[in-house]
Every structure is written in C-alpha cells, then in structure tokens.
Amino acid sequence: MADTVQFRLERMTDELDDLERRGLFTRAELADVVRRRRDFEFRIRRHSPLRQDFLDYIAYELRLDALRNLRKRAIIRASGSDSEGDDDPVSENGNKRRRPKKKWKKSVSDVAGVLRILDIYRMATVRFKGDLDLWFRYLEFCRGKRHGRMKRLSPKLSASTPRSPASGSTLQHGNSTRT
C-alpha cells in the first residue's frame, strides 16, 4: 500500500514543480499539498475505504484547483496592467483600442487537477459500483468540465448499476440530474 501511495505521489512532481515555477504556490504551500494528498491517498488505499474518503479527497482537489485558477487569473491580470504603463493606445477615431490579453500557455499543472479528480472518481465508482449518487456526481463533473470521458461513462454506468425502474428510466432519457 505504501509503495502505491509513494508511486502516485512521485507522479505529481512535474505538476508541483510547474506550480512553483509559475509562482502559483510557494514551496511551503506545496509541502502542505503533498502532506494532505498523502493522507488522502492512504485513506482511499486502506483495506476498506469509505465512500466519504473519496468524496473528501475530491472536494479537496476541487478547492485546490479553484485556488490555482484564481491565482492564475490574478497573475495574468497583474502582468497585463504592469507591462503596458500609462500610454493607452488610441485608434484613428479617438477610441481606445483593446490591448491583446497575455496568453497563459497551457502546462502540466493546468490539466493535472482535473485528471486527478477524474481518476479519483474512477477509483470510487469501481469500488462503489451501485452508488448512483456517486455516478451522477462523476457525470456532472465531466459535463461541467466539458470532458470527453462522459461518453465512455454512460455504458459503464448502465452496465454496473442495478436494474430498477427509477434508474432505467433516468438513464434511458439521459437525464443526469439527481432525484
């Protein structure tokens, strides 16, 4: 179990280096992230993990990804306002022209959070196959992030959930709202 956790933590090094290099997190904050992730990994790798362990890990990763997005937007805004100075470009008719926004190149850390959350959801749905609430949360996350994995999940969901009139009609009509 410890080897598996260590392996998963070692796979995060590129992402953590990228977060520090871009100035999104300090080294102390990243050490706290690693400590929290290690705790969560041990909780979901134990002999009989709880459904709540997976949900807590997902909630933590969602908050972390939201914080990363906020800091990224703040850095982009700050770099856009500092680089231009006071001279505003003016077009021929006297109106101010829009400045081109600085592009933030996509990197490992931009997609790693979503991929990690998808992986945690995958592990949770393998462990708790019949939990429709968990499946619907997974589908809603994929839909919210516009991730293509949702197309592959629908057949797995219908194959792994028990046959009941409520689940059959809900899944047949493609309604992914929880009842």
Give pTM, 2 decimals: 0.75
pLDDT tens for residues 22-77?
Answer: 999 999 999 999 999 999 999 999 999 999 999 999 999 999 999 999 999 999 88
Indicate the number of domains in the chain: 2
Domain that holds residue 26: 1-81+106-113
Confidence of residue 99 (pLDDT cuts 50, 70, 90): low
How confident is the model over 82-100, as a mean pLDDT? 53
- Residues 150 and 77 placed together within one structural domain of the fold: no
Work out the pLDDT band at 1, boundaries 50, 70, 90. Answer: confident
In a domain, 86, yes or no: no
In Å, how far are 5, 83, 100, 105, 111 from 39, measured between CA atoms? Answer: 9, 42, 43, 31, 22
